[in-house]
Amino acid sequence: LCATVALSYGMQVTKPHYADLTAPIPIDGAMNDTVRARSFAVRLDKVIFARQLKASQFGQEKLLTTSGLWVVATTSLTATGASTAVADGTWQGPTGLRYHQTERLGYRQDMPPHGVDPGLDKRGLFVFEVPSDQIRGARLLIAARQFGPL
């Protein structure tokens, strides 16, 4: 009986959490490397940092400012097997803080969600507002789903 209880307890505390089972699988890559995920491939082509950003909204040019820095990441995206969408980009600073894409630009065709097809590269932008101390050593996280599992 004691062995059964010990085995049951061991199985309970060592089983993976639901969030770990359904979370995206991380794959590392460097700038200008093509990183292949299960449903899409991505290459980070260029990252630009700026204090101000010019944007066209409803036919008017606006100058957007931020207290930190704008980060504009340009990527090349393609589907690996079947047409899919790449819906989310997150900037993870060196301290582990995560910054989601800005919503201040409104809808743009080159911003997520990106519909991608096999064999056809598509240019995609991911734009973030981040504090200046969250630049050096940061990572760009890209996922097919916008929201994590419940």
| Domains in the chain: ranges and CATH | 26-143 (2.60.40.1240)
Over residues 6-14, mean pLDDT: 81
Please state whether beta strands 40-57 and 34-36 pair in parallel, antiparallel, or not at all (unpaired).
Answer: antiparallel
Q: Count of CB atoms within 10 A of residue 22's CB? A: 12
CB 108 within 8 A of CB 125: yes
pLDDT confidence tier of residue 109, bands split at 50, 70 and 90: confident
Main-chain dihedrals φ then ψ at residue 7, nearest 5 degrees: -65, -45
Name the nearest CA neighbour of 27 among 45, 17, 46, 40: 40
Q: Which two tokens stand for residue 42?
A: 């991505």
Cα separation, 25 vs 15, in Å, equals 18
Q: What is the model's pTM?
A: 0.81
For residue 149, pLDDT over 60 is answered with no
